[in-house]
């Protein structure tokens, strides 16, 4: 099942009301020179379908998700580092942190995720893409 994602693309699922997450999406859009990434909010219909398909417990998993039609789903620090690896220098060198044990990477990731609303705030509604960026978003 590919959920409408072309085989040559990767879909980033993000918390649509989180200011930190929206900032990260804007960063990826700006630095995605290969036009590799598409986006959808975890709260969207497609986001909910993917979460249901992979039996993801959103209470236990407060995370960015990276979906690739041929490879399935990655989450937390692995997803973030795999995204970074495709964005070019210097951000792509963060991929070296994949050698750090996942339990340590995800502990750091979870600490930031748990505090993101307190530190960065949140919106009342999901981000609405501009008309120029509409083709990068699945709803």
- Pair 63, 56: CB distance under 8 Å: no
- pTM for the full predicted model: 0.90
- The torsion angle over the Cα atoms of residues 16, 31, 61 and 123, rounded to 10 degrees, is -20
pLDDT in the model for residue 72: 92
Which segments of the chain have a pLDDT < 70?
59-62, 125-127
How far apart CA 41 and CA 24 sit, in angstroms, is 13
Task: For the chain, give the number of residues.
Answer: 139
Q: Which residues pair with 12 in a beta bridge?
A: 39, 66
The whole-number pLDDT of residue 107 equals 95
According to the model, what pLDDT value does residue 123 have? 78
Coil, strand or helix: which one is 60? coil
Residue 127 is predicted with a pLDDT of: 67
Q: DSSP 3-state helix, strand, coil percentages of the chain (rounded to 5)?
A: 45, 15, 40
Which pLDDT does position 17 carry in this prediction? 79
Domain regions of the chain by residue span: 10-124
Output the pLDDT for position 100. 97
**Chain centre to alpha carbon of residue 95:** 15
pLDDT at 34: 94
Distance between terminal CA atoms of the chain? Answer: 17
Q: Is the peptide bond before 90 cis (omega within 30 degrees of 0)?
A: yes
Mean pLDDT of the chain: 89
The CA distance from 104 to 111, in Å, is 11
């Amino acid at each position: 099942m590919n959920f409408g994602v072309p085989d040559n693309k990767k879909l980033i699922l993000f918390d649509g009301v989180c200011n930190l997450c929206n900032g990260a999406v804007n960063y990826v859009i700006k630095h995605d020179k290969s036009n590799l990434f598409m986006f959808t909010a975890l709260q969207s219909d497609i986001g909910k379908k993917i979460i249901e398909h992979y039996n993801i417990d959103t209470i236990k998993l407060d995370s960015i998700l990276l979906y690739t039609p041929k490879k399935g789903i990655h989450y937390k620090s692995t997803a973030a580092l795999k995204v970074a690896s495709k964005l070019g220098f210097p951000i792509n060198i963060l991929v070296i942190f994949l050698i750090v044990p996942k339990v340590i990477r995800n502990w750091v990731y979870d600490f930031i995720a748990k505090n993101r609303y307190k530190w960065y705030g949140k919106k009342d509604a999901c981000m609405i893409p501009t008309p120029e960026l509409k083709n990068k978003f699945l709803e």
